[in-house]
Chain A
Amino acid sequence: MGFDQYHEPPEELPPATRTFARLCASMTEEAEAIGWYEQRLAVETDPEAAAVMRDAVGEEFKHFSMDLEFLLRRSPTWREIAQGILFKTGDIVEHGEAAEAAAAGETDDDHAGDGTGSLGIGSLRGAGR
């Protein structure tokens, strides 16, 4: 049994950290698999084989996303930075810098914390009168 996912002696690590490390390792494996399938699909000429692999890589997308969501739930700062970057249009690097600064409590263009300067009002459904 391998313990490569631990960088420190496992017996010195608290259970929550060991779980966190296992999910990090799992997510790394899923990302590697996605990369491998991307390469295989790029060279595969048999359409039936390609269809099977496209279906398989969908599983890896799901596994990677589940691992990521678990880890983000366990790491509020990671989650806060991710919220400033993921599923947004525009400049990724700019969003990343703004999200990192917001998570660190710095102030710049953004005082609402989402990297855009928005007041963060959004939907008001359920807000009453």
Chain B
Amino acid sequence: MSNHLLRSHAPISDSNWTLLDDEARQRLGVALAARKLVDFSGPHGWDHSATNLGRVRPVAATPCDGVTALQRRVLPLVEVRAEFAISRAELRDDDRGATDADLEPLDAAAHQIAVAENRAVFHGWPEASITGIAEASPHQGLQLGNHPSDYPRPVASAVEQLLRSGISGPYGLALGNEQYKRVVETAENGGYPLLEHLRKIVEGELIWAPGMDGAVVVSMRGGDFRFESGQDLSIGYLDHDADVVRLYLEQTFSFHVATPEAAVPLKA
């Protein structure tokens, strides 16, 4: 029995697979910021190819007179893959009981595929027909400011904009790498952590979003943003030689913004 991942063809022991899967799961769970904020649908399987948009476009010509035609519009899923190579010597050491196997190539691939997912969801991916949360939002123009102590004011303004638009909470605040680093390092006057202050303003999650530029305040009430997964993140096998096994992380997904006004981007 085998599927398209061809895992059973890899020269990898059960123990090795557990090691690799656990490591990938751990790394991805930290970095996949978009999934912490938006609705997740699926996984619908490797053979799921498109998201139904419920919309149509006119078809100009018909095969004969007396009929009209409309064509369904769908959002095709994109296949995203990050390849990596693992030393077979490291895997043999894992089988011997080593607890410090070098899995850096897997870690790097996990980070890259998480960044790709985050960027597609937050900033869009035109070549894959994906419009991002920040680009879709009609609320534009708010600046985070140069210093982290400036952040609470625009974040509070963003929450106010959402409320004025009739978008209820709870809200989540996703921060790009640099912005998140500044926030966790900063204590406001009196030593109160800025992280906690921002969390109180949004009354929800504060998320580290690697790959994101700036920040975005998002309603987490549900129904506004939909991430549709076909094949969820999986490790597959490519090939091997005497020294390394070449593997890949792969997933298929689409992303659709149903309520553009349910998010407010904050520029860095």
Interface residue? B265 (CB, 8 A): no
Supposing A116-B3, A117-B3 touch, asked if A111 and B233 sit within 8 A by C-beta, the answer is: no
Is the beta-carbon distance between B1 and A119 smaller than 8 angstroms?
no
Is the beta-carbon distance between B2 and A109 smaller than 8 angstroms?
yes
Residues of A83-121 whose CB lies within 8 A of B = 88-90, 94, 97-98, 101, 107-112, 116-121
A-B contact count (CB 8 A): 97
Residues of B contacting A90 with CB < 8 Å?
A: 45-47
Is the beta-carbon distance between B232 and A122 smaller than 8 angstroms?
yes
Is the beta-carbon distance between B40 and A125 smaller than 8 angstroms?
yes
Supposing A123-B35, A125-B40 touch, asked if A112 and B21 sit within 8 A by C-beta, the answer is: yes
Is the beta-carbon distance between B37 and A108 smaller than 8 angstroms?
no
Complex Cα gap A101–B231 (Å): 20
Residues of A18-77 whose CB lies within 8 A of B = none
| Consensus secondary structure, chain A interface | loop
Q: Which residue of B lies closest to A87 (CB)?
A: B44
Residues of B contacting A118 with CB < 8 Å?
A: 43, 231-234
Interface residue? B144 (CB, 8 A): no
Give B199-213 as 1s and 0s: 1 = Cβ < 8 Å from A's Cβ atoms: 000000111100000
Interface residue? A124 (CB, 8 A): yes
Supposing A90-B47, A116-B46 touch, asked if A125 and B35 sit within 8 A by C-beta, the answer is: yes
* Chain B min CB distance to A34 (Å): 26
Supposing A101-B1, A107-B14 touch, asked if A119 and B46 sit within 8 A by C-beta, the answer is: no
Is the beta-carbon distance between A117 and B1 smaller than 8 angstroms?
no
Supposing A89-B47, A107-B17, A111-B17 touch, asked if A117 and B32 sit within 8 A by C-beta, the answer is: no
Residues of B136-185 whose CB lies within 8 A of A = none
Supposing A118-B233, A123-B40, A124-B36 touch, asked if A98 and B1 sit within 8 A by C-beta, the answer is: yes
Residues of B contacting A108 with CB < 8 Å?
A: 1-2, 7-8
List residues of B whose CB falls within 8 A of some A CB: 1-3, 5-8, 14, 17-18, 21, 24-25, 28-30, 32, 35-37, 39-40, 42-48, 205-208, 220, 229, 231-236
List residues of A whose CB falls within 8 A of some B CB: 88-90, 94, 97-98, 101, 107-112, 116-129
A–B complex contacts, Cβ < 8 Å, 12 sampled: A89-B44, A89-B47, A90-B46, A90-B47, A98-B1, A109-B8, A111-B21, A117-B5, A121-B32, A123-B40, A124-B36, A127-B29
